[in-house]
């Protein structure tokens, strides 16, 4: 008599374990490159350490010094100005473009690719490219102005114009990425809602404010958090474009921390304390945004 | 099947993690790139190579011009004499050099050798070997090099490296623009301009020579310090900072006027525009830089003629000396071989070959006259600038930790002064406070 082999199903234990197994590689990467270094950072923040000699435990001295470090808080203030000015543009322009890109227009794919392209370019390359464009004496824009008989603009040697160029470069570099995020959010809104609204006599603008924006809230919240953190960490683009100048006009907080650690006196312990403060401030802002937006839930 | 699959997955992951985590426990080897060294495990005090066994030395290297090829020739010669030694040149951008050395040392895999400057040594001298412990007659070796640059590599009585070349800050000018404007540069040290005469000449070249600007200065720290020494100022004294002096304030005020009159473009210091590029593109009459730019300009300037001229004087004539060295690091496991190579590379014959090929000035007293294939007249000007350099210059830049402590505040203070946010007096006073830290 032929035995029929009983097919064994997946046990409940396997069902529980399997998702954890799948996130294990990412967990390993997260632990190796983020969590463990962060723990080391927390430890070094309590030490005086140049990176070469043995760390010397100094307790909270680095934190006390940081709270009295005027230059650190000035760079923090500049970063905040940069974030607050850039954020509305970095959220608004991609949303506007995403609205256009979901409509049935000619060469839609080409436009999507064109707008997305800059976000694939390294920040360093973006910075160098904008420097080629906005350089006072070697930039294309001033050259074109001179051909038109106009006076050259000191784009990168005046604090205000340099900040403007940095913000412009940031918006150009990040718009494509957030546009794609918004497109996926917009495409998940059922068309029937708009059709029903149209039947009820709602205008397109009313449709946008009454249907699109409320239903897009989870995506908007995601873009808000991602762009906020991204902007606060700005470093590569600014370094390549202005090196934090003129003077310290565009020196943001991450550059200040980097210089504390790797330039000049190489105060790794102090720089670690500054990083911890930045971490706490960013976590607090994110938490406040989370609370204010109710975690991006649709009401 | 699914169970087998999931078990295989778990096993693979655990294996991968354990391999990843255990790499730190594997016997580490000398060198910084993880390359296999059949001998000398890290941590051994000196070479553990058996006779005839292959020894591999990693040398971290940065380059300004043609010196990589020249050093490779020295390495080839050394390897021919020592077949059991292999030296790998690992190129690192200059800006990353200090960090690369520090990270290698902290990571327990220090390089056997590294090319250094006084700034790099100022940050890393704790990790270098004291060559005095490896060389019997270290005083005899040191006596072979220019005494004025000893404090660039002898730090706190530790011989941290030996010099391969010496640099002199100086002025490279756009000969075509000067000729067009009918301005003749000083031909001998007897004809040297004062700074006021020099500015008048630059204004004429700017007006009639087809250039937009009179001069560019590489940076507000090392390169600008040349002007400071010429005006009679300096950063440090024996017992404390000496920056806040009438001479310094005069140098600062004069510098600010150069920017305000648009003789020097603000965009180079404030807007990040590259002085080299501006000079190379023919927009500027004079570049205050140094002899290391010669190969770069020889290879890249095709549109106009250029030359080297004597720098103007104020109270003094002076350049700011600099240079590059070779250092060896403790814990590489190949210390003896590394020191042996340094001694070879800085010996008279090898160093002469290296300097001639690279178009560098030799730091060796017995290599003062070298037969350069290009620009002999340029080297004579730079050598003359070095001869007339005030002792304060090498005292400042060779002072332990000076570059690390002073460079960033000096740069930022100068930027603020040029932008008009602070006065020269403010900057001098601010720097004086910064420099006090060096004496604590």
Higher pLDDT, B47 or B260: B260
Contacts of B281 in chain A (CB under 8 A): 138
Residue B264: closest CA among B228, B216, B312 = B216
> Do B90 and B67 share a structural domain?
yes
Residue B355 belongs to domain spanning: 55-167+323-367
- How far CA B387 is from CA of B189, B359, B360, in Å, comes to 11, 18, 16
> Do B254 and B331 share a structural domain?
no
Using CA coordinates, name the residue in chain B closest to A256.
B408
The model's pLDDT over B413-438, given as tens digits with 9 standing for 90+, comes to: 999 999 999 999 999 999 999 999 88
> Hey, is the C-beta of B14 within 8 angstroms of any chain A C-beta?
no
| Residue-averaged pLDDT of chain B | 86
Shortest distance, CA B402 to any CA of chain A (angstroms): 9
Using CA coordinates, name the residue in chain B closest to A132.
B273
> Do B421 and B276 share a structural domain?
yes
pLDDT, position A274? 96
Residues linked to residue B173 through DSSP beta bridges, in sequence order: B286, B307
The whole-angstrom distance between residue A269's C-alpha and the CA centroid of its chain comes to 26
Answer whether residue B32 is part of any domain: no
Mean pLDDT of A288-295: 82
* Contact yes or no for A136 and B266 at CB 8 A: yes
pLDDT, position B205? 96
Torsion angle defined by CA atoms of residues B6, B9, B11 and B13, in that order, rounded to the nearest 10 degrees = -140
pTM of the model: 0.80
> Do B214 and B346 share a structural domain?
no
Residues linked to residue B236 through DSSP beta bridges, in sequence order: B241
Q: Is the dihedral of CA A116, A122, A123, A127 positive or negative?
A: negative
> Hey, is the C-beta of A28 within 8 angstroms of any chain B C-beta?
yes
| Helix, strand or coil, per DSSP, at residue B56 | strand
> Hey, is the C-beta of A14 within 8 angstroms of any chain B C-beta?
yes
Confidence band for B19, pLDDT divided at 50, 70 and 90: very low
Answer whether residue B7 is part of any domain: no
Q: Which of B14, B271, B401, B421 to mutate to test the interface with A (most CBs of A within 10 A)?
A: B271
Higher pLDDT, B363 or B34: B363
Confidence band for B34, pLDDT divided at 50, 70 and 90: very low
Shortest distance, CA B161 to any CA of chain A (angstroms): 18
Confidence band for A155, pLDDT divided at 50, 70 and 90: very high
* Chain B residues 19-58 with CB within 8 Å of chain A: 20
> Do B338 and B290 share a structural domain?
no
> Hey, is the C-beta of B93 within 8 angstroms of any chain A C-beta?
no
Alpha-carbon distance B310 to B293, whole Å?
Answer: 16
Alpha-carbon distance A141 to A133, whole Å?
Answer: 6
Answer whether residue B176 is part of any domain: yes
Beta strands, E only, A32-164? 47-48, 56-57
Answer whether residue B26 is part of any domain: no
Contacts of A131 in chain B (CB under 8 A): 272
pLDDT, position B26? 36
Q: Tally Cβ neighbours within 10 Å of residue B306.
A: 22
pLDDT, position A125? 95
Contacts of A8 in chain B (CB under 8 A): 3
> Do B292 and B341 share a structural domain?
no
**CATH number of the domain residue B88 falls in:** 3.40.190.10
Confidence band for A7, pLDDT divided at 50, 70 and 90: low
Most confident of the following: A107-111, B143-147, B195-199, B399-403: B195-199
pLDDT, position A60? 94
- Angle among Cα B278, B283, B284 to the nearest 5 degrees reads 80
Q: Tally Cβ neighbours within 10 Å of residue A90.
A: 26
For the stretch B350-354, contacts whose Cβ atoms lie closer than 8 Å and that sit 24 or more positions apart, written own/partner, are B350/B74, B350/B77, B350/B78, B351/B164, B353/B70, B353/B73, B353/B74, B353/B77, B354/B67, B354/B70, B354/B71, B354/B73, B354/B74, B354/B164, B354/B165
Shortest distance, CA A146 to any CA of chain B (angstroms): 13
> Do B383 and B253 share a structural domain?
yes
Ordered structural domains, chain A, with CATH: 64-296 (1.10.3720.10)
> Do B263 and B153 share a structural domain?
no
pLDDT, position B41? 33
Mean pLDDT of B283-309: 92
pLDDT, position A296? 66
> Hey, is the C-beta of B123 within 8 angstroms of any chain A C-beta?
yes
Shortest distance, CA B278 to any CA of chain A (angstroms): 8
* Chain A residues 80-139 with CB within 8 Å of chain B: 131, 135-138
Most confident of the following: A150-159, A287-296, B207-216: B207-216
Shortest distance, CA A270 to any CA of chain B (angstroms): 15
Answer whether residue B386 is part of any domain: yes
Count of A–B CB contacts within 8 Å?
103
> Is the pLDDT reported for residue A203 higher than 70?
yes
Confidence band for A297, pLDDT divided at 50, 70 and 90: confident
Select from A51, A154, A247 the Cβ nearest to the Cβ of B415.
A247
- How far CA B175 is from CA of B57, B183, B189, B329, B384, in Å, comes to 45, 9, 18, 45, 20
* Chain B residues 218-237 with CB within 8 Å of chain A: none
Phi, psi (5° rounding) for residue B113?
-140, 160
* Contact yes or no for A138 and B270 at CB 8 A: no
| Residue-averaged pLDDT of chain A | 90
Confidence band for A266, pLDDT divided at 50, 70 and 90: confident
Residues linked to residue B87 through DSSP beta bridges, in sequence order: B57
Confidence band for B32, pLDDT divided at 50, 70 and 90: very low
The model's pLDDT over B246-257, given as tens digits with 9 standing for 90+, comes to: 999 999 999 999
Using CA coordinates, name the residue in chain A closest to B284.
A137
> Do B157 and B107 share a structural domain?
yes
Residues linked to residue B47 through DSSP beta bridges, in sequence order: none
Strands B85-91 and B55-61: parallel
- How far CA B181 is from CA of B140, B215, B258, B281, B420, in Å, comes to 52, 15, 20, 18, 32
Answer whether residue B6 is part of any domain: no
Using CA coordinates, name the residue in chain A closest to B98.
A262
For B192-226, the DSSP string reads PPBHHHHHHHHHHHHHHSS-SEEEEES-TTTTTHH
Alpha-carbon distance B95 to B104, whole Å?
Answer: 15
Contacts of A154 in chain B (CB under 8 A): 266-267, 271
Answer whether residue B47 is part of any domain: no
Answer whether residue B11 is part of any domain: no
Shortest distance, CA A26 to any CA of chain B (angstroms): 11
* Contact yes or no for B271 and A157 at CB 8 A: yes
Q: Is residue A241 within 8 Å of residue B272, measured between CB atoms?
A: yes
Mean pLDDT of A111-124: 92
Using CA coordinates, name the residue in chain B closest to A133.
B273
Q: Is residue B138 within 8 Å of residue B130, measured between CB atoms?
A: no
Residue B197: closest CA among B320, B310, B321, B291 = B310
Confidence band for B21, pLDDT divided at 50, 70 and 90: very low
Contacts of B409 in chain A (CB under 8 A): 264
Shortest distance, CA A242 to any CA of chain B (angstroms): 6
* Chain A residues 200-259 with CB within 8 Å of chain B: 241-243, 245-248, 259
Q: Is residue A52 within 8 Å of residue B126, measured between CB atoms?
A: yes
A6-20, A72-86, A226-240, B348-362: least confident range: A6-20
pLDDT, position A68? 95
The model's pLDDT over B321-339, given as tens digits with 9 standing for 90+, comes to: 988 999 999 988 999 999 9
| Helix, strand or coil, per DSSP, at residue A291 | helix
Contacts of B415 in chain A (CB under 8 A): 245-248
> Is the pLDDT reported for residue A63 higher than 90?
yes
Alpha-carbon distance B402 to B420, whole Å?
Answer: 26
Residue B173: closest CA among B314, B378, B320, B379 = B378
Share of chain A above pLDDT 90, in %: 68
pLDDT, position B51? 62
Using CA coordinates, name the residue in chain A closest to B15.
A25
The model's pLDDT over B369-395, given as tens digits with 9 standing for 90+, comes to: 888 888 889 998 998 999 899 999 989
**N-to-C CA span, chain B:** 71
Q: Which of A69, A246, A251 to mutate to test the interface with B (most CBs of B within 10 A)?
A: A246
> Hey, is the C-beta of B207 within 8 angstroms of any chain A C-beta?
no
> Is the pLDDT reported for residue B165 higher than 90?
yes
> Is the pLDDT reported for residue B351 higher than 60?
yes
The model's pLDDT over A82-98, given as tens digits with 9 standing for 90+, comes to: 999 999 999 999 999 99
> Do B145 and B88 share a structural domain?
yes
Higher pLDDT, B10 or A66: A66
> Is the pLDDT reported for residue B280 higher than 90?
yes
> Hey, is the C-beta of B434 within 8 angstroms of any chain A C-beta?
no
Share of chain B above pLDDT 90, in %: 65
Q: Is residue B169 within 8 Å of residue B293, measured between CB atoms?
A: no
> Hey, is the C-beta of B348 within 8 angstroms of any chain A C-beta?
no
> Do B293 and B210 share a structural domain?
yes
**Count of structural domains, chain B:** 2
> Do B189 and B90 share a structural domain?
no
> Is the pLDDT reported for residue A53 higher than 90?
no
């Amino acid at each position: 008599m032929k035995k029929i082999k009983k097919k064994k199903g997946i046990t409940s234990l396997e069902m529980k374990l399997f998702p954890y197994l799948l996130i294990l590689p990412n967990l390993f990467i997260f632990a190796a490159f983020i969590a463990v270094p962060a723990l080391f950072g927390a430890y070094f923040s309590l030490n005086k350490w140049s990176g070469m000699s043995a760390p010397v435990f100094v307790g909270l001295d680095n934190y006390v010094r940081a709270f009295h470090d005027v230059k650190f808080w000035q760079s923090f203030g500049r970063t905040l100005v940069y974030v607050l000015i850039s954020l509305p543009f970095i959220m608004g322009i991609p949303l506007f473009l995403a609205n256009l890109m979901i409509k049935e227009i000619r060469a839609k794919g080409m436009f999507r690719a064109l707008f997305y392209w800059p976000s694939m370019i390294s920040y360093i390359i973006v910075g160098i490219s904008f420097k080629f464009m906005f350089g006072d004496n070697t930039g294309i824009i001033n050259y074109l102005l001179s051909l038109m008989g106009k006076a050259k603009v000191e784009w990168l040697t005046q604090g205000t114009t340099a900040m403007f160029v940095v913000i412009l470069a940031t918006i150009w570099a990040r718009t494509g990425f957030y546009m794609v995020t918004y497109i996926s959010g917009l495409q998940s809104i059922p068309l029937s809602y708009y059709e029903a609204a149209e039947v009820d006599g709602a205008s397109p603008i009313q449709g946008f404010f009454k249907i699109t924006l409320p239903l897009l809230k989870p995506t908007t919240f995601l873009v808000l958090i991602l762009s906020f953190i991204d902007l606060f960490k700005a470093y590569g683009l600014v370094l390549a474009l202005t090196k934090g100048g003129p003077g310290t006009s565009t020196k943001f907080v991450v550059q200040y921390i980097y210089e504390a650690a790797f330039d000049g006196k190489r105060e790794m312990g102090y720089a670690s304390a500054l990083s911890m403060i930045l971490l706490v401030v960013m976590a607090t802002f994110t938490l406040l945004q989370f609370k204010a937006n109710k975690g991006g839930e649709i009401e | 099947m699914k169970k087998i699959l999931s078990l295989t997955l778990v096993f693979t992951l655990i294996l991968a993690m354990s391999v990843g985590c255990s790499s730190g426990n594997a016997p580490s080897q000398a060198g910084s790139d993880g390359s296999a060294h059949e001998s000398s495990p890290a941590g051994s005090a000196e070479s553990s190579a058996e006779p005839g066994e292959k020894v591999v030395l990693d040398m971290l290297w940065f380059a300004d011009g043609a010196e990589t090829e020249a050093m490779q020739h020295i390495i080839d010669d050394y390897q021919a004499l020592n077949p059991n030694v292999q030296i790998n040149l690992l190129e690192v951008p200059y800006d990353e050099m200090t960090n690369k050395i520090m990270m290698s040392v902290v990571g327990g895999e220090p390089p056997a050798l590294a090319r250094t400057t006084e700034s790099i040594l100022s940050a890393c001298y704790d990790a270098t070997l004291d060559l005095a412990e490896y060389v019997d007659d270290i005083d005899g070796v040191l006596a072979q090099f220019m005494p004025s640059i000893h404090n660039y590599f002898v730090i706190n009585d530790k011989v941290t490296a030996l010099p391969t070349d010496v640099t002199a800050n100086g002025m490279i000018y756009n000969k075509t623009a000067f000729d067009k404007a009918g301005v003749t540069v000083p031909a001998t040290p007897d004809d040297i301009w004062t700074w006021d005469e020099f500015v008048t000449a630059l204004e004429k070249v700017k007006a009639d020579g087809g250039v937009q600007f009179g001069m560019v200065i590489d940076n507000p720290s090392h390169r600008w310090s040349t002007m400071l020494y010429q005006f009679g100022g300096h950063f440090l004294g024996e017992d404390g900072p000496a920056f806040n002096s009438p001479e310094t304030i005069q140098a600062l005020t004069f510098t600010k006027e150069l920017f305000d009159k648009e003789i020097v473009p603000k965009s180079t210091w404030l807007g990040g525009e590259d002085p080299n590029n501006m000079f190379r593109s023919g927009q500027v009459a004079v570049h205050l830089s140094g002899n290391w730019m010669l190969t770069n300009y020889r290879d890249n300037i095709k549109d106009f003629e250029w030359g080297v001229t004597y720098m103007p004087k104020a109270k003094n004539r002076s350049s700011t000396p600099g240079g590059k060295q070779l250092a060896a690091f403790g814990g590489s496991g190949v210390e003896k071989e590394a020191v042996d190579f340094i001694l070879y590379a800085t010996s008279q014959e090898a160093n002469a070959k290296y300097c001639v090929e690279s178009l560098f000035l030799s730091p060796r007293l017995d290599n003062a006259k070298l037969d350069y294939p290009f620009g002999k007249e340029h080297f004579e000007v730079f050598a003359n600038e070095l001869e007339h350099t005030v002792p304060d210059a090498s005292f400042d830049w060779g002072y332990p930790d000076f570059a690390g402590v002073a460079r960033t505040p000096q740069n930022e203070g100068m930027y603020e002064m040029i932008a008009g946010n602070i006065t020269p007096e403010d900057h001098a006073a601010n720097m004086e406070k910064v420099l006090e830290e060096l004496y604590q």
